Amino acid sequence: MVKVLVSSCLVGNKVRYNASCLSIPEPELHWLKSNVDLVVFCPEVSAGLPTPRAPAEIITGKGVDVLDGLANVVGNDGIDVTTPFVSGAENALELCQKQQIKYAVLAEGSPSCGSSKIYDGTFNGIKIDGSGVATALLERNGIKVYSQHTIAKLQSTLEKQS
Ligand code: SF4
């Protein structure tokens, strides 16, 4: 079966900043469990960040800007967490490269895992178009990243290949 990296918080692990988890809609989760080999991973926890932790946002820019040294990731406590966020992204890429993973389903909106939306850096709950740091690094290296809301697109891609 094709291996797919999946955000740990999407499969019930309470590793988000507030020690909660998210979920994948049941039909899509069932399809994933039946058709792919899920490799569960949390970039932020892999980099040694604690749970719970301060919510963090990219200031000011997107994941690609953090990778290029043009923006930072900062917690709402004012602490700069750019280094662990980049380490977490590198850990995700290393895992994908070791296991020849070409697809990922990552949690939308996260400064690490978001793939089409992230928060704007003001901590006011405002979302902007853009991807998180881990997603940006994976995509830069040819890995296709989907979110819990776009699993149908992954399904379509994999079905075309089979
Ligand atoms: Fe979930 Fe990704 Fe945040 Fe970890 S870094 S809690 S996997 S969204």
pLDDT digits (tens, 9 = 90+) for 94-118: 999 999 999 999 999 999 999 999 9
Which residues are CB-contacts of 156 (< 8 A; sequence separation ≥ 6)?
A: none
pLDDT digits (tens, 9 = 90+) for 116-157: 999 999 999 999 999 999 999 999 999 999 999 999 999 999
In angstroms and rounded to an integer, the radius of gyration of the C-alpha atoms of the chain is 15
The domains of the chain are located at: 2-161
Residues comprising the chain, all counted: 162
**What is each CA distance from 12 to 7, 45, 91, 94, 123, in whole angstroms?**
10, 15, 21, 23, 25
Distance from the CA of 23 to the center of ligand 1, in angstroms? Answer: 12
pLDDT digits (tens, 9 = 90+) for 20-66: 999 999 999 999 999 999 999 999 999 999 999 999 999 999 999 99
Pocket test for ligand 1, best of 113, 131, 135, 146 (most atoms within 8 A of CB): 113
The pTM of this model reads 0.97
Distance from the CA of 113 to the center of ligand 1, in angstroms? Answer: 6
**Cα–chain center distance at 132:** 7
Q: Nearest Cα to 108, choosing from 82, 90, 92, 129?
A: 129
Give me the interface pTM, i.e. the ipTM.
Answer: 0.99
CA atoms within 13 A on the CB side of 115: 21
